[in-house]
Amino acid sequence: MTAHVTQPSTDPLSRLPAWVTRVLAPNPGPMTLDGTNTWVLRSPGGEAIVVDPGPLDEGHLGRVAAAGVIRTVVTTHHHFDHTEGLERLLELCPGASVWRPSTEDGSLGVDGLELRAIATPGHTADSVTLVGGVGDERVVLTGDTILGRGTTVVAHPDGDLGDYLGSLRLLELLGPVPVLPGHGPALGDCGAAAAFYLRHRLARLDQVAAARDAGATTPREVVEVVYADVDPELWPAAELSVRAQLAYLDRKR
C-alpha cells in the first residue's frame, strides 16, 4: 500500500461551520503543505479562541487578530510553525491570554463556545487534540496529528510510534466529526481519517520490518526502500518516522 503525500485521507469538508475561520499562513513547504492553518473559533457572543497562531508574520498575525475579539490563544504542540507568532499575537490582542492544555487538562468555555483538550502524543510528546463545540455542532482540531492531506511525521525521539497509534485509535472513536488540521484542507470525518492513518502506519510498519529482514541496516537504507515512492525532499522527515518505527519494532522483540 502506498499513500502519496498528495492523497487526501478522507473526503474534504464542503463548508466550515459559520463560527470557524481558517487563516492560512504564508509559509508553504514540503512539511507545511499549503502553510500553517490558524483556526479562529467564535462564540455566539463574538468572543474568539485562536488555535495555533502560526509563524511570526506580521500580515498573517494581523489577519488573525482581525478575525474576532480574541480572548484565548492555544497551541496544539510546540513546533515553530504553529507557535512562533504567539507572543506577537498577544501584543496585537490586548486582553487575550494563553491556555496550555498540555499542562492543564480539561476544558475551556468562552461564552457558549466550548473547547476540550485530549492528549494525543505521537507526532510530538506534547501534541493535543482539541474538540470545539457551539450548540450541537462540533469540530476536531488535530494539529499535526492528522493533516488535511497525506500523512504526518512521528518526530523521533520526541515523537513515539506506540503513543501515536494509541492517539489515532482514540481519534477514531470520535466518529464523523469535521477535522480542522494544522495543515491542508478541513476534512469531513475524523473517524475515517484516523482509520486511514492507522492503516497507513501499520502498512508502513510491515514494510519497515520487511526491509530490515531483507538486510537494510541503517534508517537511511530503510527509507530508500520503503519511501521509494515519496519525493526525496521528504526523506529526512521520513527518516525520523523510520527511526520511530525501528524503535517500536525493537521494543516489541
The residue ranges that bind Zn ion (CB under 5 A) are: 81, 144, 182
- Find the shortest distance in angstroms from Cβ 182 to Zn ion: 5
- Find the shortest distance in angstroms from Cβ 215 to Zn ion: 34
Q: What SS3 string covers the chain? A: CCCCCCCCCCCECCCCCCCEEEEECCCCECCCECCEEEEEEECCCCEEEEECCCCCCHHHHHHHHCCCEEEEEECCCCCHHHHCCHHHHHHHCCCCEEECCCCCCCEEEECCEEEEEEECCCCCCCCEEEEEEECCEEEEEEECCCCCCCCCCCCCCCCCHHHHHHHHHHHHCCCCCCEEECECCCECCHHHHHHHHHHHHHHHHHHHHHHHHCCCCCHHHHHHHHCCCCCHHHHHHHHHHHHHHHHHHHHHC
Place of cell 490563544: 73
- Find the shortest distance in angstroms from Cβ 32 to Zn ion: 6
Find, among 143, 142, 145, 201, the residue nearest to 177 by Cα. Answer: 142
Rounded to whole angstroms, the Cα distance separating 139 from 134 reads 9
User: Is 81 or 163 the residue whose CB approaches Zn ion more closely?
Assistant: 81
- Find the shortest distance in angstroms from Cβ 44 to Zn ion: 30
User: Is 57 or 144 the residue whose CB approaches Zn ion more closely?
Assistant: 144
User: Is 171 or 216 the residue whose CB approaches Zn ion more closely?
Assistant: 171
Find, among 56, 63, 10, 15, the residue nearest to 39 by Cα. Answer: 63
- Find the shortest distance in angstroms from Cβ 217 to Zn ion: 31
User: Is 17 or 55 the residue whose CB approaches Zn ion more closely?
Assistant: 55
User: Is 42 or 82 the residue whose CB approaches Zn ion more closely?
Assistant: 82
User: Is 174 or 237 the residue whose CB approaches Zn ion more closely?
Assistant: 237
User: Is 43 or 145 the residue whose CB approaches Zn ion more closely?
Assistant: 145
- Find the shortest distance in angstroms from Cβ 252 to Zn ion: 29
- Find the shortest distance in angstroms from Cβ 79 to Zn ion: 5
